[in-house]
Structure 1
């Protein structure tokens, strides 16, 4: 029997977690799983063969400490999934510029190093839109993500300035399809496609996460979307054990919203065969524990 740690946070109260659906198929392959917080100062990472990053959904509060924890895990001799180089690349949403340079379409974006009211108002004209999305380059669970009209930007400028002062962030046009149609998430384990869902926000909201009232539906992806997802996977700088690729339909076709390679919910509850697909990819990479 080999041991695997699922990296989590101190408390998952209020979150939807489905990783327990992996425990039985992992055990069948000879892998014992424990869940540990990345903030645990007493954690002995060296006693694990593999550490899989799963639900540390507070890492954005202390990204450098989180990366330091991952470095300790790698130095302990345990294998880390996804890899530390891939995490470092994915932890800052500037990665979108990299994949755009590799001819993968992304939602139109302006990149800001510091908050500036005039720049926000100019972005509305630049995108020819009525609403903006503003969010930090290091974030999770839609923390500090705002949907803003011109009046909102002006009325909330003190709050926005305090939130984003000296904090790199991105400006994007609000795309109505996030409400009308939803955000598409495609899941890959290894290089193999597993399943797809569409996430729609609660009435009056724009955030699709379950924690914010979002609703999930399993779907079969359109061929165009699946093809784009496969091309996007090939554009990554390292091969992931798991990946969740998020897309939205724009007037110009599908575009990447985000690539979730660190701690995405993999929604094993939405496809009964997906836990086994994950375990198959895990065993193909790390072997059985028997």
Structure 2
């Protein structure tokens, strides 16, 4: 049987990041798939040389989202199958997708949405209104298109006005959003549940280092494998079902929740380039490889 070829879409350098996609390679090889990691910025790639292109670690795409989408369009126009699908990427790339999930009954962290500032400037009075609307003395402002906590600001009511200059610079040309600072992120952490072809795979708890709120490893966050409680699984399953009702079921999904009120609330549904933390569950790379091959077989029926 002729070996299949799979491109793992990445970036020019992962030197400053923790990536674990190499763990899926032996399992894909056992199933007859050869892998090659390619930067999304690479030139003159013939994507038709591959049977599949899997978006995995292009963790600088937010620096030029339009160019990134153009590359995905080139892949889509080739004979290669792209996962996750480009329509999912277009939907998920702007965090305003959370509005649609909330409308479909997913519990979402309360959010206020703002257009880019252009020539306007945020004022201390406008910041104070955000604190009032979200009913918190601490809030978080971040771009609607972002990754790795870039341009994410943890603001305290008493000192927020001191950051007006940097906020106005950050959001001059970026649509942005405001959310309450979730105390549970500090007290307990953020839960990530992983799904392959809609099937639950594994879960982890991410906790920030002291005096920080960012849970990514690159920012000093700590990870631990967990068995999620039933209510969390229920909320995550419902979220995945709603995503699939809007689009086709993605090959992979990571849904991030925090404890909120009497249950859990969605922080983000990561469908473009989430770390899948294959290092945290020994069988997860195998499950991912099997999910990919199963999906490709379905497409060729």
With the shorter chain as reference, the TM-score category is over 0.9
Q: Which residue, 44, 47, 63 being the options, matches 1:45?
A: 47
1:108-119 paired onto structure 2 within 5 Å: 108-115=110-117, 116-117=122-123, 118-119=125-126
Q: Quote the Cα distance in structure 2 between the aligned partners of 1:212 and 1:191.
A: 29
Is 1:121 equivalent to 2:164 in the alignment?
no
Aligned equivalents of 1:9, 1:274: Cα separation in 2: 23
| Deviant stretches of 4+, over 6 Å | none
- 2:16 alignment partner in structure 1: 14
Instruction: Give the superposition deviation at 1:153.
Output: 2.0
Secondary structure of 2:167's counterpart equals helix
Q: What is the deviation of 1:250?
A: 1.1
Deviation at 1:126, TM superposition (A): 1.6
- 1:1-290 aligned within 5 A: 1-115=3-117, 116-117=122-123, 118-236=125-243, 237-238=246-247, 239-287=249-297
Residue 46 of structure 1 deviates from its aligned partner by 1.1
SS across alignment from 1:226: helix
User: TM-score scaled to structure 1, two decimals?
Assistant: 0.97
Q: Deviations over 1:158-202 (max 9, x none)?
A: 110111124211001101110110000000000110000000001
**8 Å CA contact retained: 1:82, 1:241:** yes
2:276 is paired with a residue whose SS is: coil
Native 8 Å contact 1:120 1:171 kept in 2: no
Deviation at 1:147, TM superposition (A): 0.2
8 Å CA contact 1:133, 1:147 repeated in 2? yes
Gaps of at least 5 residues in structure 2 are none
Cα-Cα RMSD: 1.3
Q: Return 5+ residue gaps in structure 1 as ranges.
A: none
SS of 1:280's equivalent in the other structure is: helix
| Distance in structure 2 (CA, Å) of the matches to 1:120 and 1:286 | 49
Shift of 1:74: 0.7
> Would you say the 8 A contact 2:127–2:161 is kept in 1?
no
What is the TM-score of this pair, normalised by structure 2? Answer: 0.94
Q: How many residue pairs align between the two structures?
A: 289
